Amino acid sequence: MKILQLCKKFPYPLKDGESIAVTYLSKAFHDFGCEVTLLAMNTTKHYTEINKLPQEFNHYKEIHVTDIDNRVKPLDAFANLFSNKSYHISRFESKEYNDKLIELLQATDFDVVQLETLYLTPYIDTIKQYSKAIVSMRSHNVEFEIWERISANTKFLPKKWYLQHLTKKLKNFELTHLNDYDYLVAVTDRDLQKFKKLGYKNGAMASPIGLQVDRYVENTTLLQGKDISFIGSMDWLPNIEGLEWFIKEVWPTFSKSHPEVKFHIAGRNTPKWIANLNLDNVVIHGEVPDAVEFIQKYPITVVPLFSGSGMRVKILEGLALGRVVVSTTVGKEGIEAQHGEQIFVADTAMEFVSILNECMKDLPLMQTVADNAVALIKDKYDHKDNARKLLEKYKSIILSDAYS
């Protein structure tokens, strides 16, 4: 099967959920004998030096990139207030990218063109004009839902109004184009049901994000020490929102009772106000070379998310590495882990403090939950199992089209 994978950012290095989700699925496609071609935007925000890719990043038949300046520009953002277009989406519209897409579609008869996230939707008309391939949208989340939650959690009224304005246009775009896809791949059943309630009518399945499980399990060690970690892309608003809340509402109370415990914070594009934090027992690492190695160093990882949608890959990674993960109900959404069995769930500062206090005094409980988490990931979130099921679905669509 020939698959063209379209991405709004280059899926390397593997330091964020989107890159991990894209890379592990495409690797699995390759292992099953597919020819996978990548057409990715190389954005100013997440620029990758393509000539420095590691040797093991060799699962694509071809790699094509188009540079794009997707920075948020004040004048453009202001002008967009008087436009019906979604500013979220328009920053990823590129003539150069569209021209390269046409070139690839004319050169190869692809069976599937898989769009990774809503932001590739503007290119559907081009795909349908130049190809008979299945147009598949792999929706990593319900995009407008993230921004609805961010808006709801924003206190500063001018910013809240602006975010609500942007969110309304993003929602309108997402719903207007909902049935433009031939097939929808949602990463959680919860998201799939939401899309159907919103009016999606074409073929669809839920296919969770998978990990290259052996890469994680081979690094699993017994829990030692008591330190706590947080890692996430610091240019993603839900991460900043949750981390700031944790630092203000949870850490002072917890740290007063446990002055021996350190809180380690890491992430790409760390803003200055975080990098310059001067708090007792808080260690700022900035961008780390290996996220897996960082998570593995500390027995507990916190994911205090109050906005978001889809699946949080950093939670999957923490579970796969046999760490104790403490997250919110929103953070755990879409992941088949149960509170007290494979994960701990807390939605208030008091609940976070209580759970962390319990972890400090009950290492056997922590180890049991961590062991259960590894077993869950092995059973439910292996990238090859998920890719095989998706390929079987693509093949059945192609066969049915051939005889229709």
Dist CA 28 CA 388 (whole Å): 8
Our measurement of the distance from residue 211's CA atom to the centroid of its chain's CA atoms, rounded to an integer in Å, reads: 12
Where residue 236 falls among pLDDT bands split at 50, 70, 90?
A: confident
The residue-averaged pLDDT of 347-368 equals 96
- Report the alpha-carbon distance of residue 304 to residue 130 in Å, rounded: 44
Q: What does the radius of gyration of the chain's CA atoms come to, in whole angstroms?
A: 21
Percentage of the chain lying above the pLDDT 70 cut: 99
For residue 358, pLDDT over 60 is answered with yes
* pLDDT higher than 60, residue 404: no
pLDDT value at residue 402: 59
pLDDT-above-90 percentage for the chain = 77
Contacts of 103 (CB under 8 A, 6+ apart): none
Integer angstrom CA distances of residue 368 from 159, 284, 324, 363: 44, 29, 9, 9
pLDDT tens per residue, range 240-253 = 999 999 999 999 99
Tell me how far apart the alpha carbons of residues 318 and 160 are, in angstroms, rounded to a whole number.
Answer: 32
Q: Are strands 134-139 and 228-231 parallel, antiparallel or unpaired?
A: unpaired
Question: Which domains can be identified in the chain, with CATH numbers?
Answer: 2-210+382-402 (3.40.50.2000), 214-380 (3.40.50.2000)
pLDDT in tens, 259-300: 999 999 999 889 999 999 989 999 999 999 999 999 999 999
- Give the pLDDT confidence of 153-197 residue by residue, as tens digits: 888 898 899 999 999 999 999 999 999 999 999 999 999 999 999
User: Among 24-38, 251-265, 298-312, whose mean pLDDT is lowest?
Assistant: 298-312
Q: Which value, to the nearest 10 degrees, does the dihedral of the CA atoms of residues 320, 324, 330, 334 take?
A: 30
Question: For residue 36, what are the β-bridge partners?
Answer: 3
* pLDDT at residue number 317: 95
Please say whether the beta carbons of 41 and 8 come within 8 A: yes
User: What pTM, to 2 d.p., does this model score?
Assistant: 0.89
Classify the C-alpha dihedral 186-72-20-29 as positive or negative: positive
The 10s digit of each residue's pLDDT in 102-130 is: 999 999 999 999 999 999 999 999 999 99
CA 187, CA 355: separation in Å to the nearest integer? 29
Residue 50 buriedness (CB in 10 A; 0-12 / 13-18 / 19+):
middle
